[in-house]
């Protein structure tokens, strides 16, 4: 079992940074301050794609980059958490994490000022996003946190060492 976990940890993938993930279809890359090179491993897009499309789209893209036969784990967070994992003062309607535990995490932050089906504003003052001469209904920010292969191997060694240590201590306690 330990060998399979090691294979999982050292499996090669193409998810090196956030720029290896595909852009949303029919989207425009944000050029706003803080949405490009100012923050490491962060990119943003304006589009008309809502959460129901965005999350499965990036789940499939992440799965293809890592080349595992199973999708990444999907975790849902309160929008306020975006201040911590995306960047300070990030407006958010939803925040989800796609992760392969011990390997890396892709955070997807969405801002949807309008309700998808009715196009009614969610709050007072909701406006469309203007970028590159077009108007868009949503903004999606991606932030990727990769993990180093060296740290993954250190974790594997630590887990194995702990199991061996606990086995030896348990053996002494129960058979003393």
Domain assignment present for residue 162? The answer is no
Region 76-80: mean pLDDT is 95
Domain assignment present for residue 20? The answer is yes
What the block records as the tokens of 109 is 């932050």
First vs last Cα of the chain: how many Å apart? 29
- Residue numbers of the domain that contains 28: 14-148
- Across the chain, mean pLDDT equals 91
pTM of the predicted protein model: 0.90
Domain assignment present for residue 159? The answer is no
Q: Are 93 and 71 in contact (CB under 8 A)?
A: no
> Is residue 176's pLDDT more than 80?
no
Least confident of 59-63, 127-131, 138-142, 145-149: 127-131
Q: CA 126 → CA 44, 121, 154, distances in Å?
A: 19, 6, 48
Domain assignment present for residue 8? The answer is no
Q: What is the pLDDT of residue 143?
A: 95
Domain assignment present for residue 120? The answer is yes
Domain assignment present for residue 156? The answer is no
Sequence-distant (≥ 6) Cβ neighbours of residue 52 within 8 angstroms: 116
Which residues, listed in sequence order, are joined to residue 109 by a DSSP beta bridge? 95, 141
Number of separate domains in the chain: 1
Q: How confident is the model at residue 124 (pLDDT cuts 50, 70, 90)?
A: confident
């Amino acid at each position: 079992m330990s060998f399979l976990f090691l294979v999982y940890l050292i499996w090669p993938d193409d998810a090196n940074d956030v720029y290896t993930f595909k852009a949303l279809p029919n989207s425009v890359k944000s050029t706003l301050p803080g949405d490009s090179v100012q923050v490491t491993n962060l990119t943003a897009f304006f589009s008309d794609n809502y959460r129901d499309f965005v999350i499965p789209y990036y789940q499939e893209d992440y799965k293809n980059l890592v080349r595992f036969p199973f999708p990444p784990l999907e975790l849902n967070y309160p929008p306020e958490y975006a201040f911590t994992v995306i960047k300070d003062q990030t407006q958010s309607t939803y925040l989800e994490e796609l992760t392969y535990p011990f390997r890396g995490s892709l955070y997807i932050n969405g801002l949807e000022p309008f309700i998808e089906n009715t196009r009614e504003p969610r709050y007072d003052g909701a406006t469309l996003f203007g970028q590159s001469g077009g108007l868009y209904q949503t903004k999606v920010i991606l932030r990727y946190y990769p993990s180093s292969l060296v740290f993954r191997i250190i974790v594997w060694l630590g887990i194995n060492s702990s199991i061996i240590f606990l086995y030896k201590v348990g053996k002494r306690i129960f058979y003393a």
